Amino acid sequence: MEVQVFGHKKNADTRKALRFFAERRVKTHFVDFAERAPSLGELKRFAQKFGVAALIDRDSKRYHELGYTHARYSDERWLEKLADEPLVLKMPLTRFANRLTIGVEEVQWRSWIQG
């Protein structure tokens, strides 16, 4: 079993996810947005399941710094913005096989581990 965790090392929720899987000895593949921005295809996978609005962290510091508070973009344009500015994403994005979560979802993660 290997879980992919997408996020930023400085993000508390990302660290919480990594710790959750480490404590349960689950192998993780961590993609740090500081080193590699998310691909548009990867973001589309999450957007198809949850919708683009669910990916946007409207409380993030970066969201407000960029002046997105009053932005009205199409879903496609938002995905481009999120790919360029990953610190505006809700974190962590986690994936196990075809199962996806946004944010800290320990109940879901436990169900992945239990099978």
pTM for this model (two decimals): 0.92
Cβ contact 98:112 at 8 Å: no
Rounded to 10 deg, the angle between the 106-114 and 12-23 helix axes is 30
Domains and CATH numbers, the chain: 2-114 (3.40.30.10)
d(CA 37, CA 60): 17
Backbone phi, then psi, for 63, in 5-degree steps? -60, -45
Cβ contact 53:86 at 8 Å: no
pLDDT in tens, 30-76: 999 999 989 999 999 999 999 999 999 999 999 999 999 999 999 99
The mean pLDDT of 104-108, rounded to a whole number, is 96
